[in-house]
Amino acid sequence: MGRDDVPLFRALQGEVVRNVEMMVIPADQTRARVLVANGQPLISSDGTLLGAVATMHDITERKEVEQSLATSEAFRRAIIDSSHDCIQVLDLAGNLLFMNLGGQRLMEIEDVERYLHKSWPELYQGPDREVALAACEQARQGRVGTFQSACATAKGKPKWWDVVITPMVDSEGRVQRLLAISRDITESHLHQQEWQDAMAFFADGI
């Protein structure tokens, strides 16, 4: 920061300066401090500039906390996005608020914005939709809703899912959101179906 950018100097030029963040390195070369500065010119009743006053507050710890939170949030988001499950956050009406990147890939969704703020149970068809609605209602009441059902991807590819819906509560235990985790069980479902078909075939031959 050059001399002309210093809040006190700017105030001495007649400028009102508000909430300017400055990084200052102490004379003893210890860690840099972050200050927020304000400058106010002092002007007489006839408009003469008499001087200026500046105030500075040390916000180093606050900035460090903000950075720590931002870093931990980015870390949590990276974990969620790398999950092989489809992780979704719903509002209490069952509308989709968030879907992780892994889930978007599983669902073959190229533009998730088309699905946000729309009914999540509507992704399921026929009786499966009623099952999804019932699971959402269980989570709204503070319980865990589970079901297994078919749901095609955005490109029409048939898939089977094992779904768990849990309530997301605030500090007072009130349900604020719903967390739906859908695991792709298509392969195991097809193997089970093949096994059942084979058993039925042999049973008919006996």
pLDDT at 180 over 50: yes
Can you tell me the mean pLDDT for 136-163? 94
Task: Identify the band that residue 201 occupies on the pLDDT scale cut at 50, 70 and 90.
Answer: very low
**For residue range 108-117, what is the model confidence (pLDDT) as tens digits?**
999 999 999 9
**For residue range 84-105, what is the model confidence (pLDDT) as tens digits?**
899 999 999 999 999 999 999 9
pLDDT at 198 over 90: no
More confident residue, 166 or 51: 166
The overall pTM is greater than 0.75? no
pLDDT at 144 over 60: yes
**Would you state the pLDDT for residue 140?**
96
How far is 159 from 188, CA to CA, in rounded Å? Answer: 11
**For residue range 10-21, what is the model confidence (pLDDT) as tens digits?**
888 888 888 888
Nearest CA to 61 among 27, 38, 35? Answer: 35
For residues 152 and 119, is the Cβ–Cβ distance under 8 A?
no
Among 34-38, 127-131, 170-174, which range has the highest average pLDDT?
A: 127-131
Can you tell me the mean pLDDT for 128-156? 94
How far is 124 from 127, CA to CA, in rounded Å? Answer: 8
**Would you state the pLDDT for residue 148?**
92
**Would you state the pLDDT for residue 75?**
74
Tell me what the pLDDT averaged over the chain comes to.
84
How far is 176 from 198, CA to CA, in rounded Å? Answer: 47
Radius of gyration of the chain (CA): 29
Can you tell me the mean pLDDT for 123-146? 94
How far is 172 from 181, CA to CA, in rounded Å? Answer: 24
